[in-house]
Amino acid sequence: MRTMLDRIDYRIISALQEDGRLANVQLAERIGLSPSACLRRVQILEENGIITGYAALIDAAAFGRTSHIIVAITLDRQSEDYLSAFEDAVAECPDVMECYLMAGDADYVLRLVAKDAADYERIHKEHLSQLPGVARIQSSFALRQVVRRNGLYIDTY
């Protein structure tokens, strides 16, 4: 299997990031390949873990979730068992959209969506304050989203 990406791979990835629902024939036309060659390249990108999946992007506001909250969490300890217990538990919280292990002041940073401040209070009581090993929770409400990117910028040289 190929592991080095070439210009055609970059073009395929860019096109699929723009529209993950492109049919193989449309993608092949856009890239300038035969449908069979294009399909094989996409399969190789998937097999090598470069393309990790396809998803529909959903507007949280359509479901009444208009508040975006960034939460910094500091644990009591940073031992492997504390980190693992926290990560297993936070993965079960349905309102957590993203969670990052950090270097710096906080151990983790989470991005949540909620209906409003009262809904966030529910999430805080039912989930965040129940997470194992939590010493401190610091929350910030986003006023509005300025930039949202779902695709990785790929310089096709």
69 CB-contact burial (10 Å; exposed 0-12 / middle 13-18 / buried 19+):
buried
Same domain flag for 27 and 79: no
Number of domains present in the structure of the chain: 2
What's the DSSP call for residue 26?
H
Give the CA angle between residues 134, 139, 143 to the nearest 5°: 160
Instruction: Give me the helices (H) in the chain, please.
Output: 7-18, 24-31, 35-47, 80-90, 117-126
Residue 138: what are its φ and ψ, rounded to 5°?
Answer: -125, 120
- Read off the pLDDT of residues 27-46 as tens digits, 9 standing for 90 and up: 999 999 999 999 999 999 99
CATH number for the domain harbouring residue 36? 1.10.10.10
Contact between 23 and 55 under an 8 Å Cβ cutoff? The reply is no
- Same domain as 64, residue 43: no
CATH number of domain containing 91 = 3.30.70.920
pLDDT in tens, 72-97: 999 999 999 999 999 999 999 999 99
Q: What is the mean pLDDT of residues 7-11?
A: 94
Q: What element of type H or E holds 99?
A: strand 96-101
Same domain, 66 and 37: no
Sheet architecture: strand order including 67-75: 96-101, 108-114, 67-75, 134-141
87 and 129 together in one domain? yes
149: pLDDT confidence band, cut at 50, 70 and 90? Answer: confident
Q: What is the dihedral of CA 17, 153, 139, 58, to 10 degrees?
A: -10
Residue in 121, 93, 91, 97 with CA at minimum distance from that of residue 110? 97
For Cα atoms 61, 63, 66, give the angle at the middle one, nearest 5 degrees. 35
What is the domain range of residue 136? 60-141
